[in-house]
Amino acid sequence: MPSLVGRSLLTLLDYTAEEITAIIDLADRVKRERAEGVRPRRFEGRTIALIFEKRSTRTRCAFETAFGEEGGHPVFLAPGDIHLGEKESVEDTARVLGRMFDCIEFRGYRQSTVEALARFSGVPVYNGLTDSYHPTQVLADLMTVRERFGSLRGRTVAYVGDGRNNVATSLMIGCAKLGVNFTVGAPAELEPDPRLTAQLKEIAGTDGAVITSTTDAKSAVRGADAVYTDVWYSMGEEAKAAERTALLRPYQVDETLMAATGNEKSIFLHCLPAVKGNEVVASVIDGPRSAAWDQAENRKHTIKAVMLATLGLS
């Protein structure tokens, strides 16, 4: 396994295909350990600061249980608990936390905040979600696809919905790095950033993978091994709910859209939480082709793998 000791995870753009694959391999191992009842104490005597500007179910539970069940001490820090960016600069908070904790997780709004924490703390910092990227989610997504199909290179993932949000962006990065074909089906107003798309097309092309986009949902999913969607408006965008609902209604994942893959083995993916009846119907996300619950579990295993690797405990 390539050494990741001391590294932060801010975006998968910073990681090579070999490094991403090594994290997923390690996540497979820790998942097997848990299934077999093996409970090492690899985090014993260590601490992690969990900073949450945005609420969470999967990210918080994954970090807390992954760290705590192996003897570590997670400390949850909500906005009302600390002075992050208010009364005290992010840089000064980072300097203090870096002297008290072995690592830091941040889930919030600005990518610049998690970058400052990494730059000034001197310890590994993990991006649990910003408005720009969601790398820990995509590690779980890729792990889930590989579990279902046995491999990643040459597979096809189709994302339909808001194509410029943090999940779609990070998923495109992860797929490009690992040679997975990636198609976005989104309205023109919500297509991915064209500069990033151009960069990732070059990266994907080195492995023979293709990145494409279309405004037609059925065209986007044709031939897909996995159909992925997310909520129609993210945290902090509630004022745009009506506008986004009207714009994205044609991209709802229902049985008809799943059938449009032409692939009987295709699976459904969702980062959760889901608004059933909006971006996906209940019969799909709760049905036999859904891998959303495997994805949710795999958040824990991939996050544990990242922490073990970057703390030199793997």
Catalytic pick among 7, 58, 134, 244: 134
Catalytic pick among 58, 107, 270, 289: 107
Place of tokens 């390690």: 26
Catalytic pick among 46, 146, 155, 299: 299
| Nearest C-alpha neighbor of 121 from the set 89, 141, 99, 146 | 99
- The CA distance from 142 to 134, in Å, is 13
Strand partners, 158: 183, 227
The sign one gets for the Cα dihedral 158, 268, 280, 10 is: negative
299 is catalytic: yes
Catalytic pick among 230, 244, 252, 270: 230
- The CA distance from 104 to 97, in Å, is 8
Strand partners, 182: 157, 211
End-to-end CA distance of the chain: 9
Phi, psi of 123 (to 5 degrees): -130, 160
The angle subtended at Cα 263 by Cα 257 and Cα 266, nearest 5°, is 75
- The CA distance from 267 to 284, in Å, is 9
Catalytic pick among 58, 225, 271, 295: 271
Residues contacting residue 299 through CB under 8 Å, at least 6 positions apart: 58, 59, 62, 136, 137, 140
The sign one gets for the Cα dihedral 224, 205, 24, 234 is: negative
137 is catalytic: yes
Q: What DSSP state is assigned to residue 45?
A: T
Residues contacting residue 207 through CB under 8 Å, at least 6 positions apart: 17, 153, 178, 179
Catalytic pick among 103, 137, 225, 289: 137
175 is catalytic: no
Question: How far is residue 314 from each of residues 10, 12, 21, 137, measured CA to CA in Å?
Answer: 20, 20, 14, 21
Q: Which residues are catalytic?
A: 107, 134, 137, 230, 271, 299
